[in-house]
Amino acid sequence: SYKLLPERLYSPAAEDFNKMVEEALKEGVEFLATSGFRSKEEQAVLYEKYINDPDNNPPAAKPGKSKHNSGLAVDIWPLGRNASKRSPSLSYKVREWLRKNAGRYGFKRTDRREEWHFVWSPRSEIQPGWYTKITFEEWKVKVSKYNVK
């Protein structure tokens, strides 16, 4: 299965991601998630790799500054020959499908340098950037009033 392990993403986001993958597969578009939640320690390792060798490692935020630390960000990787070590290089088909459909599942591309990086933000009532300004526990309280599923 191409589904993301639920413990690597906030569970409502994982549910929406899995629905998105299922719909894409029905349309012949294949991709998977390679990264969801990251601890600050895991982020530190990726950040050091990027800082020490940026030509062979994808961009990585400083520990505590990554949206992955909240459990709301996911990196999408293509299946097949388009994947490389440095970046996933999404195929046109995957890129276009995500551009047209990811928002229906609450996912938005938030970094123009990283076409594979999406953040789950299903409610327009929540201001852009909220996920970097509050803790995960504060976020759960904030969105509970919207009955996010």
Exposed, middle or buried by CB within 10 Å (0-12, 13-18, 19+), for 32? middle
Q: Is 42 helix (H, G, I), strand (E, B) or coil?
A: helix
Q: What is the pLDDT of residue 50?
A: 93
Q: Chain-wide mean pLDDT for the chain?
A: 77
Q: Cβ contacts of residue 1 below 8 Å, gap of 6+?
A: none
Distance CA 108, CA 7 (A): 21
CB atoms within 10 A of CB 132: 14
Q: Which of 36-40, 105-109, 132-136 has the lowest mean pLDDT?
A: 132-136
- Asked if 98 and 114 touch (Cβ cutoff 8 Å), the reply is no
Q: How far is the C-alpha of 26 from the C-alpha of 19, rounded, in Å?
A: 11
Whether the per-residue pLDDT at 76 is higher than 50: the answer is: yes
Lowest mean pLDDT segment, chosen from 50-59, 69-78, 84-93, 116-125 = 84-93
At 48, list the tokens: 């050091």
Angle formed by the axes of helices 92-101 and 11-26, nearest 10°: 120
Which stretch of 23-27, 99-103, 112-116 has the lowest confidence by average pLDDT? 112-116
Tokens of 39: 């601890």
Tell me the C-alpha to C-alpha distance, in Å, between residue 90 and each of 5, 95, 98.
21, 6, 10
